[in-house]
Amino acid sequence: MMNSKNILITGGTGSLGKAFIEHLRISKINFKKLIIFSRDELKQSELSKHYELFPKFHKKLRFFIGDIRDPSRLNTAFYNVDYIIHAAALKQVPASEYNPTEFIDTNIIGARNILDQAVKNQVKKIVALSTDKACEPINLYGSTKLCSDKLFVSANQFYGNRVCSSVVRYGNVMNSRGSVLPLFLKQSKENLFTITDPEMTRFNISIEDGVKLIIYALLNGKGGEIFVPKIPSFKVIDLAKAINNKAKFRITGIRPGEKISEKMISNSDALYTYDLGRYYAILPAGTKLIQKYKKYKKVPTDFFYSSDANKNFLSIKELKKIIKIHNYS
């Protein structure tokens, strides 16, 4: 499906963006062109130099400096693009509480800009990245991402058949920018971990599985779905113990906008959620899209998907294995 296609990824120099680029390099997908759209010219330069080691692949890459807040720059970047992966966002919860307008301008207005310019340039498909914090949000970051999700879902009705956009929602990506692992690795050297709450749990997805989810949504999305992966949870304190079980702990208390546990599917979502096997799909209510998923089983009406009630929990031993396999150190 992606053969001979022009693909663009916003936030392409981030952790997920770089993993997506590398997936295209090692796969047999014969795409035509990949545009890496981001604001950081240094990261773009470093990424370009890295792929100069693979000349045939490098020839297919285009590096666009720009901001999703700028519609005119998006209009230029989207010319002749077939598929868009939207990964750009402001993501830090404490920063969102202190700088709300910046998060609104990037995460919400930026999402609208992408949709407007994608329709103008006749882009065929969009997959937008979301977060578990968009489910029943209590912080501004989660609220902006929920609003963004709603924009990408409703665009399929608002713009009609001029756009096909879906959303992928997942939890903590181990060792990505902003995750707790880099902090714990640093604190381990001082034999003292700062833990906000000993009962705190989070979903965990590998960056490889995050890329697979994007590819799945791109290939299978009909427009309007929020795809949710079935992934394990872990206790944050267990992650610290997996790194250094001899270190001491200091309990600091929950930060503004933070939850003890996260949800990816709420009780309200359950009414429109279907079990696809490896993934769940939350469908928009009152649309014809539901007819296309009739072959799949609906989840029970009292269903919810939260990190603390997850049936699949990573043990300290399993967390140690993940850290070792991926060479996180």
Give the catalytic positions in this structure: 133
CB 229 within 8 A of CB 221: no
Partners of 227 in the β-ladder: 168, 281
What lies within 8 Å, CB to CB, of 310 at 6+ separation is: 201, 203, 232, 233
- Provide the 3-class DSSP secondary structure of residue 238: helix
What lies within 8 Å, CB to CB, of 173 at 6+ separation is: 15, 16, 179, 204, 205, 206, 207, 210
What lies within 8 Å, CB to CB, of 170 at 6+ separation is: 130, 131, 132, 203, 205, 210, 213, 228, 229, 231, 264
Q: How far is CA 38 from CA 52, 66, 154, 292, in A?
A: 19, 6, 25, 35
Q: What are phi and psi of 277, to 5 degrees?
A: 110, -90
CA–CA gap between residue 52 and residue 42 (Å, rounded)? 15
Q: Tokens standing for 318?
A: 């399993």
CA–CA gap between residue 1 and residue 262 (Å, rounded)? 34
CB 248 within 8 A of CB 192: yes
